[in-house]
Structure 1
Amino acid sequence: MLSVNPIFSRQSHSKLMRCLQSFARSGKGLLFSIGSLIALSAPASFAQSSSPPDVAKFVYQRIPTLALENQYVRTDNNKQAVDSTLVSRLVYYHNSVKGRSPLYRLDWKTTLADYLGIHEVIQPETYSGYAFLKKNPLESDRAVIQKLNAAQRNALVQALVDASTGRQSAASETTKTAPPSVPAQAKSKPAPAYRPTLNPLAAPGSVDSLRTAPIGRPYTPGGGEAQFLK
């Protein structure tokens, strides 16, 4: 993880609070630019802690399939400049040449748009390696970026942001865990189905149970109806 200077962070926080209090007393509210707020809160050691070689090392650990492009030879000693990689040159262009914030995905996407040729033109004489490499790597670096698909470019942007902020992405620092198991006795049992009780039906041909005795006279089943005429 990249280091952050805690002393400067406290000083920046104090400056920010004094600025907010000053605006509140003057009645101007919070009408100041986001850029000023970022400038007050950004650590002073940022340039050192997020140097192009450090960021490149982080990114290549995250994306090992990304091309190194460090085959170029130095002009001073005719040796291979192994530390001058595609990512280190991209970071130098982003931070030092364009002065863009390394903390936000949008700024890195803007830089990639330069490499894709759809935003600003990258000047060869200001590109990293122009002054100390025998061959300017600009065109080769642009070709590598242009071959990346959308998913690969998004992964590169996320790795650059994580390297600059010292964070690990959510996908790398969290693991999938199974939901906690519920004890057997705690599991609810389904309610039994309602089954109404039915009285048995009379046997076929049995009509005695349907007969009722006349009022005032007892009824004897099977005794015939003539007994009521007596």
Structure 2
Amino acid sequence: MRKQIFLQGWLGITAAFLLEAGPAYAQLRLIPDAARRVYEALPDLPLENTYTPINPNDGGPRPEEDTLVRRMMLYHLQVAGRSPTDRFDWQLTLADYCDANEPMVAQQYPGANRLTVNPYTRDKAVVQSLSRRQRQALLRALVLAFGGDPDPKPLYIPPDLKAAPALPTPEPMKPLLLPGRGGADLLRPL
């Protein structure tokens, strides 16, 4: 009886952990396919896959799969902890690469501990070298690769709320009179 209760408790804890960790692992499994889709949509985007792994037998991605977009996706999901389907979150990630948002830490960048040369500096330089049009196309491809909406519609606002009621005009403020000499004496108790 005790053994059965213990096993039920253990299975419940394990199931709760797996359910909690499930989406993150699912997103990481989608990265190779999502990166492939981005490169299909943007064939001129640099691969940046010339880095050599420190230990080729560590079970990591093959060098031809370890691309700029894959590292960008890992940074977005794991380091920055952002949503893969939200357009605004991808804009923040591109802003990170352009030094216009949060600073990126080179030691935490994907591949920093696994490759002989940290791709951090080169990846940032490649993203910064893209034109505004190219960055917009990359943003769109990244959102679409994870099934998000690259062109979100504005929220519906009912017609009766569009015309805000006119607020009364406040009266102009009277100028504040500052005490003159000896004004500090007014603060003494009576």
TM-score scaled by structure 2?
0.61
SS of residue matched to 2:146: helix
Q: Percent identity?
A: 42
User: Which residue is equivalent to 2:141?
Assistant: 159
State how far apart, in whole Å, the 2-side matches of 1:74 and 1:49 are. 20
Q: CA RMSD in A?
A: 2.6
Match of 1:138 in 2: 120
Q: Which runs of 5+ in 2 are unaligned?
A: 1-21, 152-190
Which secondary structure state, in structure 2, belongs to the residue aligned with residue 68 of structure 1? coil
- In the alignment, the residues of structure 1 paired with residue 97 and residue 70 of structure 2 have an alpha-carbon distance, to the nearest angstrom, of 14
2:130 paired residue number: 148
Q: Deviations over 1:132-170 (max 9, x none)?
A: 10000000000000011111111101101101017799x
C-alpha contact (below 8 Å) 2:87/2:149 kept by paired residues: no
Equivalence for 2:48: 69
Equivalent residue runs for 1:26-175 within 5 Å? 44=23, 47-48=26-27, 51-77=30-56, 81-165=63-147
Report the Cα offset of residue 77 of structure 1.
3.0
Structure 1's 76 and 65: CA in aligned 2 closer, same or farther, altered over 3 A? same
Are the aligned partners of 2:35 and 2:69 in contact in 1 as well (CA < 8 Å)?
yes
How many residues are matched?
A: 127
- Looking at structure 2, the residues matched to 133 and 46 of structure 1 have their Cα atoms a distance apart, in angstroms, of 22
User: Based on CA coordinates, which of the two structures has the bigger radius of gyration?
Assistant: 1
Distance 1:168 1:120, change over 3 A: closer
Alignment of 1:175-186 (within 5 A): none
Give the drift of 1:118: 1.1
TM-score, normalised with respect to structure 1: 0.50
Q: Distance in 2 between matches of 1:154 and 1:50?
A: 25
CA-CA distance at 1:120 after TM superposition: 0.8
